[in-house]
Structure 1
Amino acid sequence: MIVLSPESLNEVYARHLDWYPAIQNPQSAPEHIEGLADIMFQFDLILLDSYGVLCRGSTPIEGAPEAIQQLRKNNVSFCVVSNDTLTNRSVAAEKYRTRGFDFTSNEVLTSLDITEQYLSSLESSGNIGVIAPLDHPSNHLLEGMVRLNGCNGEIPDGVDTLLFLTGAGWTAKMQENMVNSANGRQFDLIVGNPDIGAPHGDHVTATPGYFLADLVEQTIQKAKPTLFGKPDRSIFSMAIEQHQITDPSKVLMVGDTLYTDILGGNAMGFKTLLLQCGVYQNENILEVISRTGISPHYIAPAL
């Protein structure tokens, strides 16, 4: 497990801004509010990040289940939009139920759902090396690929595409072996979870975006990665299409990370709400916004 500070997290994101949509900030400074209830009636759809907004690891954040019930009570449409690549819609409802949330499968959209669309379109996959535990919900779509976890991270000859699916089970030694075996080679790069890190308990742990960035920086990869999660447009576009939204300004994206939730939401023309209970917990949020150059429309302590 690699633990990141909020500062180092943002530094990695900042080094790879060319992977993400251009920064588009609100014209005015962010408005501080108490929580979602202050503004929820202004929107036709509320999109919610998961880790750092609803939960930290598997533990729900105080007040989050009650906030979801308030949305239901007031008939405000919402959808969880997460870069989780261990969960797709077929297992989402049960996973969140264990965390105190009563979501249906139609109320959760993950980057794994987007990635599975890509995987199902492949005609051949023997040239792809994938970072994912050997027991994964998408195993039926990963057949024929080289499972790098099973190779202790070493990339065999013949692999020319790397899919960074999930960091579960991925070790520092596997990362070292992958980097060493990638030296002098170039790959097409695909990442199911572009997050650099995610909050778990009282710390932030590295996620697939970090392992991708480390590989790119150490082996001078030239290809621009294909992203299947926030801040890329694809996951946002699917969410608003499914909810038949035609006016993006009537959508609120709620997140805890400036480079994914807020940058991506702003680029889509959504309004954005940054919560302080996630990766920037205990940080001076206005200083973080100033350093990154990415600003939300609203700031709140929690949901």
Structure 2
Amino acid sequence: MTFIFSIRQSSMIVLSPDSMNEMYARHLDWYPAIANPPSAPEFIDGLADIMGQFDLVLLDSYGVLCRGSTPIDGAAEAIQQLRANRIPFCVVSNDTLTNRSVAAERYQSRGFDFTGDEVLTSLDITEQYLGGLTNRNHIAVIAPLEHPSNHLLEGMVRLNGCNGEIPKGIDTLLFLTGAGWTAKMQENLVSTANGRQFELVVGNPDIGAPHGEHVTATPGYFVADLVEQTNQKAKPTLFGKPDRIIFSMAMEQHQMTEPSRVLMVGDTLYTDILGGNAMGFKTLLLQCGVYRHKDIMDVISSTGISPHYIAPCL
């Protein structure tokens, strides 16, 4: 029993923010240890209030810059303020439909003028893993049949094309992206996984992400649901926030050696804020994302995860 509230909305699974956080909390052993600031969070008006304190600003995408494909008011202007003040920044996202080869075009369609080297996604990290594989026929992947990484997915079983049913001979499941994944596919995945054990690899560890007026399930939800319903023993390998690898790569690319001079801006406590705090970054939680209709201090109290700063939007 996973205690979620879910409905079908264009075949998507829709979650409440509380049910999303409850699922994160049940799998804390997958994530870095909680490392909160020593004092209560400071409420600020926006990024402009504090940006001058930092040598690098890392920005989540969904819930910070946009909701689905719709930009959030004021986000593009905040990016221009960073540029005007010559403060380096990088979008650090668990988006597994966007890599650096398509980032500029995709963000331009949302109203942002990013270049490819200003975006780092968990798909970029996942592609490094995929590029090192020599045998793919034992892996089944959750991803739409048209995907930017198709050349690296050749030889794998495409579960979206199997209606979620896992064939025999598969010992590894790659949870890449939830695009096109339905509640029925998830039911079939669970049913055909019962009595079997798998290596679990997760390109996007987010359990939910804001999409329009709703929070929709993302690959972190699908793997957590599978683990809970089929008693999987393996700890999933995560390629995105809150795992250290994506943060470390962003620091390396910007030649940063002092974590306290980095600000992580996000809308989700269990990924952006927990991961940023664990790295030794300062963290800014925005209220315009998954928690925008919630009492933010109640959410912080219930999760036990706290940022350095809180603002209504970027």
Is TM-score (shorter-chain normalized) higher than 0.5? yes
Distance 1:255 1:197 in 2: 13
Are 1:278 and 2:275 an aligned pair?
Answer: no
Q: CA deviation at 1:259?
A: 0.0
Determine helix, strand or coil for the equivalent of 2:110: coil
Which residue of structure 2 aligns with residue 62 of structure 1? 73
Which residue of structure 1 aligns with residue 8 of structure 2? none
Distance 1:169 1:2 in 2: 11
Are 1:151 and 2:188 an aligned pair?
Answer: no
Distance 1:31 1:174 in 2: 43
Name the amino acid aligned to 2:194. N
Which residue of structure 2 aligns with residue 21 of structure 1? 32
Q: CA deviation at 1:35?
A: 0.2
Are 1:198 and 2:209 an aligned pair?
Answer: yes
Determine helix, strand or coil for the equivalent of 2:224: helix
Matching of residues 208-223 of structure 1 within 5 Å: 208-223=219-234
1:206-251 residue CA offsets vs partner (Å, 9 max, x unmatched):
0000000110000000000000000000000000000000000000
Which residue of structure 1 aligns with residue 131 of structure 2? 120
Determine helix, strand or coil for the equivalent of 2:164: coil
Name the amino acid aligned to 1:213. A
Over aligned residues, Cα RMSD in angstroms?
A: 0.4
Determine helix, strand or coil for the equivalent of 1:199: strand
Provide TM-score, normalisation by structure 2: 0.96
Determine helix, strand or coil for the equivalent of 2:257: coil
Determine helix, strand or coil for the equivalent of 1:190: strand
Which residue of structure 1 aligns with residue 5 of structure 2? none
Percent sequence identity is 83
Matching of residues 59-208 of structure 1 within 5 Å: 59-208=70-219
Unaligned runs of 5+ in 2: 1-11
Distance 2:310 2:180 in 1: 34
Are 1:301 and 2:312 an aligned pair?
Answer: yes
Distance 1:171 1:36 in 2: 37
Distance 2:149 2:17 in 1: 31
Distance 2:246 2:238 in 1: 10
1:132-160 residue CA offsets vs partner (Å, 9 max, x unmatched):
00000000000000001111100000000
Which residue of structure 2 aligns with residue 41 of structure 1? 52
Name the amino acid aligned to 2:213. D
Q: CA deviation at 1:123?
A: 1.0
Which residue of structure 1 aligns with residue 4 of structure 2? none
Q: CA deviation at 1:48?
A: 0.1
Name the amino acid aligned to 2:121. T
Distance 1:284 1:241 in 2: 36
Distance 2:91 2:287 in 1: 18
1:171-219 residue CA offsets vs partner (Å, 9 max, x unmatched):
1111111100000000000000000000011110000000001100000
Which residue of structure 2 aligns with residue 243 of structure 1? 254
Distance 1:6 1:103 in 2: 29
Q: CA deviation at 1:252?
A: 0.2
Distance 1:109 1:211 in 2: 23
Q: CA deviation at 1:282?
A: 1.5
Distance 2:110 2:159 in 1: 31
Determine helix, strand or coil for the equivalent of 2:174: strand
1:240-292 residue CA offsets vs partner (Å, 9 max, x unmatched):
00000000000000000000000000000000000000000011000000000
Which residue of structure 2 aligns with residue 289 of structure 1? 300
Q: CA deviation at 1:31?
A: 0.4
Distance 1:184 1:168 in 2: 27
Distance 1:13 1:71 in 2: 32
How many residue pairs are counted as aligned between the two chains? 303
1:58-110 residue CA offsets vs partner (Å, 9 max, x unmatched):
00000000000010011010000000000000000000001110000000000
Determine helix, strand or coil for the equivalent of 1:2: strand
Unaligned runs of 5+ in 1: none
Q: CA deviation at 1:54?
A: 0.2
Provide TM-score, normalisation by structure 1: 1.00
Are 1:224 and 2:235 an aligned pair?
Answer: yes
